[in-house]
Chain A
Amino acid sequence: MKKTKRTFMFSLLLSLIMITGCWDRVELEDIGIVLGVAIDESATKAAKKQEKEELKGQAKERKHILMVHHFIIPQEVEGKTRTGKNKPYSNVVNEGETIFEIVRELSTRVARPPNYEHLKVIVISEEIARSTDLRDIINFFLRNPESRRTIKMLIAKGKARETFEKKPPIMANPALKMAKMIENTKKTLRMAPEMTLGDMSEKLTSETSFVMQRVVTSKTGTKVAGATVINGKTHKMVGWLGEDEMEGLNWMSGKGKAGIVKGTDQKTGKTMVYEVGKMRSRIKPKVQGNNISFTVDIETEGSLREDWLEPGNAFKENLIKRAEKAAEMEIKRLTQKALTKTQKKFKVDVAGFGKQLSIYYPKVWKEVKKDWDKHFSKIPVDINVKVQISEFGTRGTKM
């Protein structure tokens, strides 16, 4: 009796393993590895027509999304059957009203189910970013257990799908290339800081305005530079920051890691190039009565890397001083430019002024928090820059 009971229990346990197991087994070579996703506004006539009809009927705006899945074709990357003639990737385009709908519709087009575990970049087009709440766009990816929160997010100038269509130089795959390029924030100040899916969702939820990296596709290839400004309130894009302005913004927020500053010597009008070693910026809020003001202290230490002066002898103290001065002026100009555009034109705070205010004056912050971006556009900001050149490379003179 006891023995049969035990056998019964055992077989029950065994069946538990045997029956439940294997249901989601799929071999690595049978999945479609998606490395990149581009989201565009649909431009087909049918979609436009449908949109119009719907607008008439429901007076409700409905967007049509066009989505590009950038699949990798492993055999073309490496493997015995590689010919070298075919592209090692393929972009599958389909459209629909929601992201998930599009993803599921994809199964009617490709044999291998898309797998987002290796998804590296999501590129959203300008059109979508300007017109649609970004929370809706990224919602699917946040819910999907396959997609990581470290997926890099980009906003494309023009059509997003174009970014995946150009075969890039040096690297074989456009998506991988872009993912690598985004990390180059260590080398230049002209890029906005990396924005991942997780960070983006955080910013959107907390309703803070922020900048995202911008990707531009031209005839010669794709370029990641400048930034897109996203308004935290509307969750939509408000405008671009050029490369100069981005540089200025990086100086202001102190988020840059390395880069160069091309200063102009006041005395001769010639160019001097300063390389950033360390940079630090401190935003200090000041509250007097009802007036809020900010002071930004930027301190940086680095080296003189190139000068177009004659004779340019760095052993003379004076030259270093002049170079410092030139860099300071340039940094100040860039920062001012970035500030003017974000504060006055877009009326958003993307450099973290609000955060500092909330730290120093929490009570004041509570009052202005609600319409912070609006308030911020009227607040005066002072900028102080201090540059210290501590070295000049392995040669001080030109000759």
Chain B
Amino acid sequence: MTSSLQRNLQVVREQIGHSPDVIFRQFSFCGTLWKAAIVYIDGLVDKTALHEQIMKPLMQEPTAAEKAKQLSDGAAHIKNWVINSGIPIAEIKEAHNLNDCILEVLSGNALLFIDGIDSGFILGITGWEGRSIDEPVTESLVRGPRDGFVETLRNNTAMLRRRIKDPNFTMVVYKVGQRAKKDLAIVYIKGIANEELVAEVKRRVERINIDDVPESGYVEQLIEDNYLSPFPQVQNTERPDRVMSALMEGRVALLLDGTPFALIVPVTFSMLMSSPEDYYERWLPGSLIRAMRYGATFTALFLPALYISLISYNQGLIPTKLAISIAATREGVPFPSLIEALMMEVIIEILREAGVRLPKPVGQAVGIVGGLVIGQAAVEAGIVSPIMVIVVALTAISSFAFPQYGAGIAIRMLRFGMMMSAAVLGLYGVILFFILINAHLVKLKSFGVHYTASFTPYRPKDWKDMVIRAPLMMMKQRPEMNKTQDRKRQ
């Protein structure tokens, strides 16, 4: 960086001046002969602040004494004046590297050059239009806070700050993406979170080498342990309260600028099965609902496979009367049970996909048409049996019972594998596949914590918050699996 204003401006112009939204404004400093220039990007700065707090004092005629000082002391005085008294804004910083300056401009700050001074002043007046805080769409609760994260990182960190006044609340910000350079904040509570875990998260984040991270899903995929596993090894959430309670358990959260989805690591299977509401409700309903969710998981995973194996192989296990009535309804069905089940399951998946992507009113119409086609017409046409419709409907409803969309997808995928093995080996195949899933699960780790913790490794103390949710006064310790520095909850 040189002391020549024109030279500096030229460099900046060469780098970013080719776009019309980059504004270069040259003016004479305080009505003197000194030239100055301000550079900012239109739309990323708060215009009122720019006009009132920056341009106004910079262009005002100074007092006589001040003017004399400027003339006598020159650059040194002006520098001092700008930083210490001239411009009434909170964030102001001197930069000596032109590249840094450019990055700051691109981040939404204004840059001030003054002729004769070999440094630039970065004025923090970022301000742009963003979405206001809304209720999270993907994780709605009956009882609980209604605010969800938004796309702006600052707002999100502020939401967390508002929930905790602990000085140990720590935030480390990284720039990720070689070109996009997005802010990624690693958030944890010093003194609770295991230091090795924090170091590991930092290590993995530093290793990210990619042009751009449009969403935290990119980060998730780049830092997860096993990319072949169907199970998500990083939890994502839109809820600040969820992040907060994870931090209190000694976990680490990652917040990325530009997305409302925060990431939580390490994650366990039982975490994916829980909802913040389990804790907000009293423990009895909380526990029952959670246990029911486990039941729904089993239904979503096994039901079609059980149907196939019972119909095609193990007919003796169906109660006689049910067997007779199923046999009667299946009489006209031309397909074996596997084809029947596959067909219906695929149709349901297509319907669901169509319903998700379409605009809301159209999506509802798709649901109705699809439901009618599947429920009524298919049975009447004799393509599937009514029992199959019940099986498919139950499975679909059960797979909606997941509090986490990502975990639901894993189960939905595995369901098809389960159906295939049921079709090949009957109930025996179902059990084999289940063993396979279990073998994979116990081996899987998320940031050094076993995915099936604390069933394996065996830590009965943690069982108070797994399938059931024990009363709060019984959960006096943080989960053992996270190896927290501070074991006791106050």
- The answer on a CB contact under 8 Å between B315 and A31 is yes
With A72-B324, A79-B328 as known contacts, state yes or no: A27 contacts B312, CB within 8 Å: yes
A150 to chain B minimum Cβ distance, whole angstroms, is 12
Residues of A contacting B324 in the complex (Cβ-Cβ under 8 angstroms) = 33, 72, 74, 77-78
Partner of B327, one of A29, A35, A81, A117: A29
Q: Is A26 an interface residue (CB 8 A)?
A: yes
Chain A residues with CB under 8 A of B267: none
List 23 A-B pairs, Cβ < 8 Å.
Answer: A17-B425, A22-B424, A25-B423, A25-B426, A26-B312, A27-B311, A28-B312, A28-B315, A28-B323, A28-B330, A28-B337, A29-B333, A33-B320, A33-B323, A74-B331, A78-B329, A79-B328, A79-B329, A115-B315, A117-B316, A118-B323, A148-B316, A176-B320
A residues engaging B (CB < 8 A)?
17-18, 21-22, 24-29, 31, 33, 35, 72, 74-75, 77-82, 115, 117-118, 120, 146, 148, 176
Residues of B near any A CB (own CB < 8 A)? 310-313, 315-316, 318, 320, 323-333, 336-337, 423-426, 429
Q: How far is the CA of A148 from the CA of B326 in the complex (A)?
A: 21
Partner of B425, one of A21, A27, A28, A120: A21
Choose among B315, B318, B328 the residue that contacts A78 (Cβ–Cβ < 8 A): B328
CB-based contact B424/A74 at 8 Å: no
Residue in B closest to A118 when the chains form the complex, CB atoms: B320
* Minimum Cβ distance to chain B for residue A364 (Å): 46
Main secondary structure of the interface of B (DSSP, over half): helix
Residues of B within 8 A of A74 (CB): 324-325, 327-328, 331
- Smallest beta-carbon distance B437→chain A, Å: 16
- Give the distance in Å from the alpha carbon of A385 to the alpha carbon of B144 in the complex: 71
Q: Is the CB of B311 within 8 A of A118?
A: no
Given the complex, which residues of B lie within 8 Å of A28, measured CB to CB?
A: 310-312, 315, 318, 323, 326-327, 330, 337
Asked if B424 and A75 make an inter-chain contact with CB atoms under 8 angstroms apart, the answer reads: no
Contact A78–B325 (Cβ < 8 Å) = yes
Q: How far is the CB of B431 from chain A (nearest CB, A)?
A: 14
| Chain A residues whose CB sits within 8 angstroms of the CB of B336 once the complex forms | 25, 27
The CA-CA distance from A218 to B412 in the complex, in Å, is: 58
Count chain B CB atoms within 10 A of each CB in A24, A31, A77, A118 and give the residue with the most: A118
Residues of chain A contacted by B330 (CB below 8 angstroms): 27-29
Instruction: Decide: A81 and B316 in contact? CB cutoff 8 A.
Output: no
5 residue pairs, one from A and one from B, having the closest CB atoms:
A117-B316, A21-B424, A79-B328, A74-B328, A74-B327
Q: How far is the CB of A375 from chain B (nearest CB, A)?
A: 44
Report the bound CA distance from A264 to B423 in whole Å.
Answer: 66
Task: For A31, list chain B residues within 8 Å (CB).
Answer: 315, 327
Say yes or no: A25-B329 contact (C-beta < 8 A), given A72-B324, A77-B324: no
Report whether A77 and B316 are in contact in the complex, using a CB–CB cutoff of 8 Å.
no
Contact B424 A18 (CB under 8 A): yes
**Which B-chain residue is minimally distant from A175 (CB atoms)?**
B320
> How far is A77 from B328 in the complex, measured between Cα atoms in Å?
8
Closest CB in chain B relative to A231 CB, distance in Å: 33
Q: Once the chains are docked, how many angstroms separate the CA of A320 from the CA of B220?
A: 84
Interface centre among A22, A27, A120 (most CB of B within 10 A): A27
Whether the Cβ atoms of B320 and A79 lie closer than 8 Å is no
Taking a contact as CB atoms under 8 Å apart, the answer to whether A33 and B327 are in contact is yes
Whether B323 pairs with A81 at a CB distance below 8 angstroms is no
Q: Give the one of A21, A26, A148 with max B CB within 10 A.
A: A21
Contact indicator B331/A29 (Cβ below 8 Å): yes
B311 touches A77 (CB 8 A): no
User: Do A79 and B323 have beta carbons less than 8 Å apart?
Assistant: no
* Given A21-B429, A27-B336, A29-B331, 16 other A-B residues pairs in contact with their CB atoms under 8 A: A18-B424, A21-B425, A22-B424, A25-B336, A25-B423, A27-B311, A27-B312, A28-B326, A28-B337, A33-B324, A77-B324, A77-B325, A78-B325, A79-B329, A79-B331, A81-B331
Residues of B close to A29: CB separation below 8 A: 326-327, 330-331, 333
Q: Are A120 and B320 in contact (CB under 8 A)?
A: yes
Distance between Cα atoms of A81 and B333 in the complex (Å): 13
Least CB distance, A118 to chain B, in whole angstroms: 5
Q: Using Cβ atoms and an 8 Å threshold, which residues of chain B touch A27?
A: 311-312, 330, 336-337
The distance from the CB of B319 to the nearest CB of chain A, in whole angstroms, is 9
* Nearest opposing residue in chain B for A77, CB measure: B324
- Closest CB in chain B relative to A151 CB, distance in Å: 12
Chain A residues with Cβ under 8 A from B425's Cβ?
Answer: 17, 21
Which residues of the other chain, B, contact A75 by a CB distance below 8 angstroms? 328, 331
A24 touches B424 (CB 8 A): no
Tell me the smallest distance from the CB of A3 to a CB of chain B, in Å.
17
A146 B331 Cβ-Cβ under 8 A:
no
Shortest CB distance B158–A (Å): 53
Q: Report the separation of the CA atoms of residues A21 and B308 in the bound assembly, to the nearest whole angstrom.
A: 14
Report A77 CB to chain B, min CB distance, Å.
Answer: 5
Name the A residues within 8 Å of B328 (CB-CB).
74-75, 77-79, 82
Question: Closest B-chain residue to A17, C-beta based?
Answer: B424
Q: Which of B323, B326, B328 has the most CB of A within 10 A?
A: B328
Inside 8 A of B310's CB, which chain A residues have their CB?
Answer: 28
Q: How far is the CA of A77 from the CA of B324 in the complex (A)?
A: 8
| A17 to B332 alpha-carbon distance, docked (Å) | 30
A308 to B232, CA, bound (A): 78
Smallest distance from the beta carbon of A7 to chain B beta carbons, Å?
17
Whole-angstrom distance from the CB of B264 to the nearest CB of chain A? 36
Residue of B at shortest CB range from A179? B320
* Residues of the B chain whose Cβ atoms lie less than 8 Å from the Cβ of A120: 320
A359 to chain B, nearest CB (A): 38
